[in-house]
Structure 1
Amino acid sequence: MAGSVIGGEDPVVIVGMAVEAPGGIDSPRSYWSALAESRELIGPLPRDREWPLARLRALGRTPGWSDIPDAGGFLSTAAEFDPAFFGITPREAIAMDPQQRVAMRVAWRAVEDAGLNPAALDGDGAGCWMGVSVLEYGPRMADVSDHSGFRLTGSALGAVAGRISHSLGLLGPSISVDTTCAGSLTAVHQAAVAIRAGDCDWALAGGICVMGSPGMFIEFSKNNALSSDGHCRPYSADSSGTLWGEGAGVIVLERESRARSLGHRIYGRLLGSRVNHNGKGAPLAVPSTAAQERLIRDALSVAGIPAELVGLVEGHGTGTPVGDPAELAALIKTYGSPTRTDGGAKLGSVKSNIGHAQAASGILGLIKVLLCGAHGHIAPSLWSDNPTEAVDWNATSLRLATKFEPWEPVDGVRYGAVSSFGVIGTNAHAVLAMPVLEEDVDV
């Protein structure tokens, strides 16, 4: 990665990444192929989790409830785990939330992608931050079962980051973050803050979502905010609600000086990030345009660049009738200047491909932006050919990413941004810079 240092004298950079997503995606390479080819990775509700499928599918016939489609974005490898590899007994492994298991596997791959030997890190002072939420796996601790004795560590949210640090032997901060759907982007922000503060020299950060129960489908059925047709259609006039998905993503962060001294490949610079809250006023779960606008402006200020340089915005884009218009209003006020002469920023959401991966959604969007930057192309957002009429598209330069197209750099740099918003009022935003890589992109 050539070019002058952006984002301060010694910015935090991303030097490794790993991902698992629906449709058998298990690497950045396969993830990019799916995005570039506009593939939808949605499948039927899982048949191997003992979910009450008939009851779920009939719920829409109950007054006050909406239909639950036989669809979602599910990890095909959620149940796969090699406990011996990580020094865990089979009895303990089965009592562990699969979010712990998948997170350990993906973190290991991210470390390898950064050019490090995961088996040689014991005693290293690196940190780990992971976004995760409770998704109801296994029996309660209060229930006497064959898994008693392992349910405390098996169900604790803190064990997601803790398992990663334990398996690698990392001695730095190890923190699981639950800001619901803003979890992974909040984790990235906190990891970068810790590196800048000297709490650790490098860190793992990301998020995980594996649904141990159909609870999220039931909750949104009651709230009438669930997709009725089995598709997640961000910013579309055809959207009827969100569709739940799963996934995991982990990145490796460190100072640029350290990356260069160790010869690490640099995917991009984290120019700036911010996390805020909606505050009081509207109900807790209702998004705030004002808070999101304030957040974006603060992140851009920290990044030290004007909004007009940003060419790709990976939005939250859940496809809900309340969330999308509120988010679009904030994005238009910040990134949608009508005076831009470069065609304007492109907007998309990977939820159109994989569904809403909740606590992992932000990191999956961030990795998408990094891959777009590395390959010099913007991947299309599905279902964007009929934009919502909730905003006046003629009054903004912001445009939905409707096709696979070249992403032209500005003075050798591509600038992108990522948003995540949580149902408990937490908002997160990050601004990235990706100087043009060499021709042989190997991601």
Structure 2
Amino acid sequence: MPAYRWSVDDYYSPDATAPGKMRCRFGSFLGPVEDFDCQFFRMSKKEAECLDPQQRLLLELSCEAIADAGLAKTALAGSRTGVFIGQSGFDFAVQHTNLDSLNELTPYVGSGCSFAPAAGRIAFFHDFHGPAYVLDTACSSSLVAVHNACRSLQNGDCDLALVGAANLILSPAMTINFDKLGLLAPDGRIQTFDAAAHGFVRGEGAGMIILKKLPDALRDGDRLDGLILSSAINEDGSSNSLMSPNGLAQVDVIRQTLQGAGITPDDMDFLETHGTATPAGDPMELNALADVFATTTRRRPLRIGSVKTNFGHLEAGAGMLGICKLLLSMRHNALPPHLNFEHGTAEFDWSSGCLEVNRTLSPWARSDRPRIAGISGFGFAGTNAHIILAEPPLTGSAGRPRLAAPVFDRQRCWSAAAERARLGRQSATNLHIMQEHLRLMQQYLNLRSTNNSQASSKTDGDLYGH
């Protein structure tokens, strides 16, 4: 843990029963987050000092996401653009509203520390007039935010949606709490689905995506990075305890999304799991996946993985990180390795052959059908979410150019001749992929037309591109 957060030695003890101490010295941290251009965001230095750094990150990301999508900020001003944020971390609020800091309270502490302005401040800065709110369902927050954004687009509440999440670890308090619950890995190794799984490490990060209805995105010539075929949310209800996972609820939420997307389990190529590396949670999730995917005619096991093994557990931002992983995997035609997996947990029957942990950097190339992947997120209070993503249809156009190149593309330069040659090589397969997309979309729309009156209120109703 970096010294610019806190001195880990002050709070560390190998004794799990030591009051106010933690056994885990590890985490996944961003650099210092104090730097912020308050003048750019039209606020005073005094107001910025009272602003939760999670809000600062989300403000910055909103500008980067808009630029990356090739959209103009001025064109969006006054529009029915929505903002949907997943957030559950409250370290900054605790630090600035406790009884010892009463003499330091300013008029800006309330808006800087509460959750609501994390969305409202973005809408204020950009002059958005669609829905703007924050959701806290713990570790499923960002996926639930995506689900709500899709609903708002479907219902006509907004025409465009920014969906984001942020997680920063600014105090040792919740780390100590998680350690007392036995959730953290003392050695810093997240061994999801492994026989030696013994917890996760907390992680920092933030992400944001832009959603629009697919017909609108195609009409406007937007660049598409992926499609949301379906989303669903549900609740554990009465289970072993408030924070115990419910395998039946996990099965149900995945089946809802498959039905909503109009696809079968056989159509799924990869599933980004919740995968927190806990002895109770891992077997529960594996067996739930087997219930959904084992009774199929799959020609090969469903590949699964957890980005938590790579970056730590981003909590409210975990689902957003998983979405980014899947979109980048489709863009780069490869799936990153699921780390620290050696021997599968004995609490799951691996011999069934229905699931396979993606242990190495694996190719995920385009084929004659769209690549499809699911992602799960389960909150400790029982709110479960699942989303099914697909690669976007190839329209023959690169779409709207970016106004700002993303960091991972800034060192890449392509000549026009090389790009024309690449497109020529792809043309033979593009037609097959587009035909398969059209078939899936028609199948999906027919399903919606037939079952519209019986559709679950928790299942997304349209295809969305972002």
Q: TM-score, normalised by structure 1?
A: 0.85
Distance in 2 separating the partners of 1:199 and 1:181: 26
- Equivalent residues in 2 for 1:15-414, closer than 5 Å: 45-49=1-5, 51-58=6-13, 60=15, 62=17, 67-137=22-92, 138-140=95-97, 143-337=101-295, 339-341=297-299, 343-409=300-366, 411-414=368-371
1:125 CA displacement: 1.2
1:118 CA displacement: 2.6
Letter in 1 for 2:143: L
1:141 CA displacement: 6.4
Structure 1: segments with no counterpart, 5+ residues: 1-44
The structure with the largest alpha-carbon Rg is 2
From the superposition, tell whether residues 301 and 199 of structure 1 become closer, same or farther in structure 2 (CA, over 3 Å).
same
Query: Residue 375 of structure 2 is aligned with which of 418, 434, 438?
Result: 418
1:278 CA displacement: 0.1
* Equivalenced residues, count: 397
User: Does structure 2 conserve the Cα–Cα contact (< 8 Å) formed by 1:65 and 1:222?
Assistant: no
Distance in 1 separating the partners of 2:168 and 2:121: 16
Distance in 2 separating the partners of 1:379 and 1:388: 21
1:302 alignment partner, SS class? helix
1:352 CA displacement: 0.6
Distance in 2 separating the partners of 1:291 and 1:213: 33
1:221 CA displacement: 1.5
User: Does structure 1 conserve the Cα–Cα contact (< 8 Å) formed by 2:12 and 2:21?
Assistant: no
1:48 alignment partner, SS class? coil
Structure 2: segments with no counterpart, 5+ residues: 399-405, 410-466
2:421 maps to none
Q: Percent identical across equivalent pairs?
A: 35
Q: Deviations over 1:103-124 (max 9, x none)?
A: 1111211111111123543212
From the superposition, tell whether residues 357 and 211 of structure 1 become closer, same or farther in structure 2 (CA, over 3 Å).
same
Distance in 1 separating the partners of 2:53 and 2:14: 27
Letter in 1 for 2:333: G
Distance in 1 separating the partners of 2:295 and 2:341: 20
Letter in 2 for 1:73: S
User: Does structure 2 conserve the Cα–Cα contact (< 8 Å) formed by 1:139 and 1:145?
Assistant: no
User: Does structure 2 conserve the Cα–Cα contact (< 8 Å) formed by 1:141 and 1:148?
Assistant: no
Q: TM-score, normalised by structure 2?
A: 0.81
Letter in 2 for 1:347: I
Distance in 2 separating the partners of 1:125 and 1:358: 29
Distance in 1 separating the partners of 2:16 and 2:141: 34
Distance in 1 separating the partners of 2:26 and 2:152: 39
1:359 CA displacement: 0.2
Distance in 1 separating the partners of 2:366 and 2:348: 28
1:384 CA displacement: 2.2
RMSD (Å) for aligned C-alpha atoms: 2.2
Q: Deviations over 1:120-178 (max 9, x none)?
A: 43212100000001322132166423342111101111111112111211111001000
Distance in 1 separating the partners of 2:339 and 2:197: 12
1:355 CA displacement: 0.5
2:460 maps to none
Distance in 1 separating the partners of 2:33 and 2:344: 34
Distance in 1 separating the partners of 2:126 and 2:294: 44
